[in-house]
Every structure is written in C-alpha cells, then in structure tokens.
C-alpha cells in the first residue's frame, strides 16, 4: 500500500511545454470523471496520508476545490497541488483552495526571466503569472516547493533561477533533469542537454539554495554527477507512491523507476552508490551512452569529502 497518492485529474493544460512528459495525452484523454476520482480518494485513504493533485494542469478543473474538500473530509493530512502555478496568480483562488484544505503547493518555474520560461512552456505571460502565484502563496503563509526542469535552454541559468527562488521565499526547490519521453522525447535534440555540462551550474544552484537555508533537491541526476551534493538526490526521500495515470495505475512508483523508467550502466556495479542509485532516465544513455557516469570508488569519495571539509 502506498503512503502517497499522485492523482492525475485530467490532461488539459494551458501551457505547452517543450519538455512535457505527458506528450499528446491531452488530445486523447479528457478530464477524469469525478466519480472515478472520488473512488480513488476513498480507496487510497486507509493507507495514504499524502495526496498530490496533478495532471495535466489540475487547477483547470472547476471542481478541484470540491475534490480538495472531499480529500480533507477523508482525512488526508498533506494535500498538495502540483501545478504550472498560473492560477495562483489569482489570490482569491489561492484563498479558496487553502480554505478547502490544500496545504502544500508545487508550482513549476523554469527560468529566471520571463522570456526563458515563456519560451520553454510555450505560453506568453506564463512566467509573470507563476511568479505572482508564488508571491501570493507565500503571502498567505503557505509551504511552497517548486520544480524546475533542467533543459538545454536553461541549464546555464540555474544559479540565477536559484537566486530568484530564494528571493521569492520558496521553501524548497527541486531541479529535475528532463525526462526524454512524450514531447521531450520527440524534441530530444533541442531539449536534452549533456548532464556533465549541466552539472557545474546545477551544483552552483544547489550551493546557493543551501547557503540561503533552503531545502534543495535534484531528480534523475545520479550521485556520480554531483560529488559533494549526494544528499540532494531526491530519490532516496520519495515516499512509497501510487500514481493514477491516464491509462494505468502504477502501484509502486519506486519499483517502476527501478525496473522500467531508469537504467544502470555496465560499470555501475563497481560504484559505491550502486545499491541506492536509480541511474538516469533510460532514454538518456540510449542516446548518449554511459561515458559520463563514472563509478565512484570508496577511497575517492572519502578523499573528496575530506577536501570538501577543509
Ligand atoms: S551507480 Fe552508476 S549511475 Fe549511479 S552514481 Fe554510480 S556510476 Fe553513477
């Protein structure tokens, strides 16, 4: 049984991200019937304390506040809205979903400048709305954890993005390496950077976040890419999660990542992180090979930790 439920309530979205993993699901799948969603909420609650409303863009559903209220009634303790953040620009809407029971907010911001973010999400004006949304949520005392996808267009600007997130008062931020499936798979060459090239910028952004006292994490970036920042690898903190997707239910998302989503290389068995590491999304080495992923040996890791401590 899962500790958390990720419930995709529909696949419509007002952004058109170049890195979207959902691809053309919005064309095939509409909003899920409310009866189906209520049934998932009821059946999941005995085991799960945590719930994430996601999609597509969940705030496009007019009945989202009612679903949140129902989840609260059922006793879910953490109710998160994972969103592109644009609806949060309306403070009245923020107040409504908070009053119904939402208590964690995960808006997505992918650039420090409007031009960069709006290009990546293919929606003019989106950056201003998402940034205003974060401001509104923080002014209402909410816990905000952002997600930013690392792409070819923004990886050099991750430190500036970290500075902006810190200035906005974001409590926790995550940098997720683009998953090359869906639209990101179709646009692979334009969207997916080499991980080793992104790593220095990513580590600088993590350092800035840590220096400001924020919780900072990465997703889909193996330990060997992040020497000194191994504690930022989010996979070891993700709770047991069931994902209610469009066409399937992933009962155990951790198992799915290990067995289908991610891949390990031929030399990984020599690495000190082999047991904990999930490796990159499998599509990455299928295109680029394994040369960037060098096993970390115990002695080398200890030496690095010693010199970092000096
Ligand atoms: S197990 Fe493989 S991918 Fe993971 S950190 Fe080690 S070398 Fe890198």
pLDDT single digits (tens) 98-148: 999 999 999 999 999 999 999 999 999 999 999 999 999 999 999 999 999
> Cα(120)–Cα(81) distance, rounded to whole angstroms?
21
Decide whether any atom of ligand 1 lies within 6 Å of the 224 Cβ. yes
Asked if the model's pLDDT at residue 300 lies above 70, the reply is no
pLDDT for 309: 46
Mean pLDDT of the chain: 93
For the ranges 84-98, 117-131, 237-251, the lowest mean pLDDT is seen at 237-251
**Mean pLDDT, rounded, for 226-239:** 93
Which domains are delineated in the chain?
4-309 (3.20.20.70)
In angstroms, the CA 36 to CA 105 distance is: 24
Q: How far is the CA of 218 from the centre of ligand 1 (A)?
A: 15
223 lines ligand 1 (CB under 6 A): yes
- How confident is the model at residue 308, as a pLDDT? 53
| pLDDT score of 310 more than 70 | no
258 C-alpha to ligand 1 centroid (Å): 13
Q: Answer whether 268 contacts ligand 1 (Cβ < 6 A).
A: yes
Over residues 152-171, mean pLDDT: 98
- The pLDDT of residue 299: 63
Neighbours of 184 (CB within 10 A): 24
Instruction: Give the whole-angstrom CA distance, residue 262 versus residue 249.
Output: 18
Residue 305 has pLDDT above 80, yes or no: no
Q: What is the pLDDT of residue 116?
A: 98
Q: Is 58 in the pocket of ligand 1 (CB under 6 A)?
A: no
- Asked if residue 274 has its Cβ within 6 Å of ligand 1, the reply is yes
In the chain, pLDDT over 90 holds for what percent of residues?
Answer: 85
Residue 4 pLDDT > 70: yes
Residue 22, pLDDT score: 83
Q: What is the CA(251)–ligand 1 centre distance, in A?
A: 26
Measuring from atom 7 of ligand 1, which residue has the nearest CA? 295
Continuous segment of H or E residues that includes residue 135:
helix 126-139
pLDDT tens per residue across span 13-66: 999 999 998 877 887 777 889 999 999 999 999 889 999 999 899 999 999 999
pLDDT of 95 higher than 90: yes
Choice among 12-16, 124-128, 161-165, 190-194 with the minimum mean pLDDT: 12-16
What ligand 1 atom has the least distance to the C-alpha of 265? Answer: 2
* Cβ of residue 293 lying under 6 Å from some atom of ligand 1: yes
Ligand 1 center to 222 CA (angstroms): 6
CB 41 within 8 A of CB 51: yes
Helix ranges restricted to H, the chain: 25-28, 34-44, 64-74, 91-100, 114-121, 126-139, 158-167, 182-186, 188-191, 195-211, 253-256, 283-288, 298-309
Predicted local confidence at residue 237, as pLDDT: 87
Q: 284 or 239, which is more confident?
A: 284
């Amino acid at each position: 049984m899962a500790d958390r439920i990720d419930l995709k309530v529909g696949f419509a979205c007002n952004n058109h991200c170049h890195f979207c993993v959902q691809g053309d699901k919005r064309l095939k799948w509409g909003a899920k019937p409310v009866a189906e969603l209520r049934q998932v909420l009821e059946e999941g609650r005995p085991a799960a304390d945590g719930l994430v409303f996601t999609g597509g863009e969940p705030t496009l559903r007019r009945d989202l506040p009612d679903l949140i209220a129902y989840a609260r009634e059922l006793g879910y303790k953490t109710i998160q809205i994972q969103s592109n953040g644009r609806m949060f620009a309306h403070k009245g809407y923020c107040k409504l979903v908070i009053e119904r029971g939402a208590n964690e907010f995960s808006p997505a911001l992918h650039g420090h400048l409007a031009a960069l973010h709006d290009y990546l999400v293919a929606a003019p004006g989106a950056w201003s709305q998402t940034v205003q949304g974060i401001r509104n949520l923080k002014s209402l005392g909410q816990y905000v954890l952002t997600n930013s996808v690392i792409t070819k267009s923004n990886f050099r600007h991750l430190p500036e993005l970290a500075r902006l997130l810190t200035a906005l008062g974001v409590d926790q931020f995550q940098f997720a390496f683009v998953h090359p499936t869906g639209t990101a798979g179709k646009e692979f060459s334009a969207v997916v950077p080499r991980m080793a090239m992104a790593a220095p910028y990513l580590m600088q952004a993590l350092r800035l976040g840590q220096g400001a006292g924020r919780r900072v994490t990465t997703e889909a970036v193996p330990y060997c890419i992040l020497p000194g920042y191994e504690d930022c690898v989010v996979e070891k903190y993700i709770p047991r999660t069931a994902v209610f997707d469009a066409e399937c239910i992933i009962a155990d998302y951790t198992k799915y990542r290990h067995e289908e989503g991610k891949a390990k290389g031929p030399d990984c068995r020599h690495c000190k992180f082999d047991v904990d590491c999930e490796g990159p999304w499998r599509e990455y080495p299928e295109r680029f090979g394994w040369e960037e992923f060098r096993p970390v040996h115990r002695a080398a890791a200890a030496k690095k930790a010693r010199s970092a401590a000096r």
